[in-house]
A and B are shown apart, each in its own frame.
Chain A
Amino acid sequence: AQSVTQLDSQVPVFEEAPVELRCNYSSSVSVYLFWYVQYPNQGLQLLLKYLSGSTLVESINGFEAEFNKSQTSFHLRKPSVHISDTAEYFCAVGNSGYSTLTFGKGTMLLVSP
């Protein structure tokens, strides 16, 4: 079985502060990990993905995530957030034993001035 836990349902931060959104997974085989972002009234957009290779992956808008196999985590970080980063963020896991991805329940990032 595979599962994803996003420990925080909401994370409030001030603009220009750093943020970390936590994601832990469980899987018995090698995994593939994804972060998606959902802006209000829109579908999910792929933010970044880990398939293999370097454990640190980056997105074009300043987010990064690090795959940590020993801690079974894939936390999302940004050193300085903007108001426009306010959105819901979903972590997802896939592996060779399943045809589909399993999504976490989401973390709402609320950035205030």
Chain B
Amino acid sequence: DVKVTQSSRYLVKRTGEKVFLECVQDMDHENMFWYRQDPGLGLRLIYFSYDVKMKEKGDIPEGYSVSREKKERFSLILESASTNQTSMYLCASSLYGFNQPQHFGDGTRLSIL
């Protein structure tokens, strides 16, 4: 079974802090994704990566950046956290290809105070 592990289940940070969310997958997947999930809005794609050091903006990249230095690890960075970034963050991975299902981690519930 594919395992996608997010480093924290719950995280509380302060406005203006630089925040790192880490995600690791163990199935040698090429693609990795970061979403945020908010009530009534579903899943919105922040960034994705289809290879090491490659990244593409999703639907809502503003205020975020990402890093993929190794194939198994994909980091989401909040450069200067703001209260409107309080949300559930979900990481996913998949094999390369548009018909491949995505496998999700359990999510990180981030609160910015």
Listed in ascending order, the chain A residues whose CB lies under 8 Å from chain B are 9, 32, 34, 36, 41-46, 49, 51, 90, 94-101, 103-106
Q: Bound complex: CA of A45 vs CA of B104, how far in Å?
A: 7
Whether B99 contacts A94 by the Cβ 8 Å rule is yes
The answer to whether A43 and B33 touch (CB under 8 A), given A100-B48, A103-B42, A104-B42, is no
Which chain B residue has the least Cβ–Cβ distance from A43?
A: B104
Contacts of A95 in B (CB 8 A): 98
Q: Bound complex: CA of A104 vs CA of B43, how far in Å?
A: 8
6 interchain residue pairs of minimum CB distance: A43-B104, A105-B42, A32-B99, A103-B43, A44-B104, A43-B106
Whether A32 contacts B105 by the Cβ 8 Å rule is no
Whether B98 contacts A32 by the Cβ 8 Å rule is yes
Which chain A residue has the least Cβ–Cβ distance from B41?
A: A105
Whether B98 contacts A96 by the Cβ 8 Å rule is yes
How far does the Cβ of A27 sit from chain B's closest Cβ, in whole Å? 11
**B103 on interface, CB distance cutoff 8 Å:** yes
Contacts of B43 in A (CB 8 A): 44, 90, 103
Whether A43 contacts B90 by the Cβ 8 Å rule is yes
How far does the Cβ of B92 sit from chain A's closest Cβ, in whole Å? 8
Listed in ascending order, the chain B residues whose CB lies under 8 Å from chain A are 4, 31, 33, 40-43, 45, 48, 50, 56, 58, 90, 92, 98-99, 101-107
Q: How many A-B residue pairs have CB under 8 A?
A: 52
Contacts of B92 in A (CB 8 A): 43-44
Whether B104 contacts A106 by the Cβ 8 Å rule is no
Which of A43, A94, A97 has its CB near the most chain B CB atoms (within 10 A)?
A43
Which chain B residue has the least Cβ–Cβ distance from A36?
A: B104
The answer to whether A106 and B103 touch (CB under 8 A), given A99-B48, A99-B50, A100-B58, is no
Contacts of A51 in B (CB 8 A): 99
Contact of A94 among B58, B98, B107 (CB under 8 A): B98
Which chain A residue has the least Cβ–Cβ distance from B9?
A: A41
How far does the Cβ of B64 sit from chain A's closest Cβ, in whole Å? 16
How far does the Cβ of B26 sit from chain A's closest Cβ, in whole Å? 15
How far does the Cβ of A92 sit from chain B's closest Cβ, in whole Å? 8
Contact of B102 among A9, A96, A97, A101 (CB under 8 A): A101
